[in-house]
Amino acid sequence: MKVIEIRNLVKDYTDSAIQVRAVNQVDLIIEEGEFTAVVGPSGSGKTTLLNLLGGLDLPTGGEIFINNIRLNDLTATGLIDFRLYNIGFVFQAYNLIPVLTAGENVEFIMELQGKPRSERRKRSHELLESVGLADRIDSRPSKLSGGQQQRVAVARALASRPRFILADEPTANLDSVSAQNLLDIMEKLNHDEKITFIFSTHDVRVVRKARRVITLEDGRVVSDVRQV
């Protein structure tokens, strides 16, 4: 089943009066349950593409459909609500709230959704258990390693039961063991729960795990390969 479709997508930025085309007439379909890596050199448009898919940035041209909803038609408030219920995000910098515990960080999205506290606490524990951190539910981010913080970020991304997760360089700040553990967890979630993952990455470990690799250069798709 089709989760994402983009048609003739374009994103321009103006830098010192010079117009830069970060995404250049991209057409793409992502099916449910894919484990996809978007790769390419720095400046190729990887992060911009993910930001557009997540509604964090607005296209200059073209169309984005997610679950058959045209993102172009949504207001700013509509995009916030759409992200809250449909998309999970994992960022390179973790972006955990430092004054909250691991459990509270995972609960935060559910609190925004208006879920009752008992439901939030139960799901938070289940998700942290799924990433091997049930025993750190009451630890604040400063007491966790980088790899542990990123696993909390994955649990938080799953909290809203999203249709797909956008992961922007999720292994960039991790040592090799932590990166491999994180990828194994994501792969298992993809396999067991059919959650769609889309990565922007330079990491060859992510590329090896991916079942589809989309290569960007100068904002264009130059290669789209499915791997066994």
Number of H helices, E strands in the chain: 7, 10
φ, ψ for residue 213 (rounded to 5)? Answer: -125, 120
Alpha carbons 213 and 224: distance in angstroms, whole number? 6
- Mean pLDDT, the chain, rounded, equals 92
C-alpha distance from residue 137 to each of 13, 98, 156, 204 (Å):
41, 14, 12, 31
Collect all residues with Cβ–Cβ distance below 8 Å to 162 and sequence separation of at least 6. 85, 86, 87, 88, 195
The model's pLDDT over 92-144, given as tens digits with 9 standing for 90+, comes to 888 899 999 999 999 999 999 999 999 999 999 999 998 889 999 999 999 99
d(CA 118, CA 76): 31
Residue percentage of the chain with pLDDT more than 70: 100
Q: Report whether pLDDT(198) > 80.
A: yes
Fold of 2-226: Rossmann fold (3.40.50)
Is the pLDDT reported for residue 183 higher than 80? yes
pLDDT digits (tens, 9 = 90+) for 60-96: 999 999 988 999 999 999 999 999 999 999 988 888 9
**Checking DSSP bridges between strand 220-226 and strand 164-168, what pairing results, if any?**
unpaired
Give SS3 for 118: helix
pTM to 2 decimal places: 0.90
Residue where the block lists tokens 């990565």: 199
Task: Give the β-pairing of 69-70 and 87-91.
Answer: unpaired
pLDDT at 30 over 90: yes
Task: Answer yes or no: are the C-beta atoms of 100 and 142 closer than 8 Å.
Answer: no
Tokens 């983009």, residue located: 6
Q: What is the mean pLDDT of residues 141-159?
A: 92
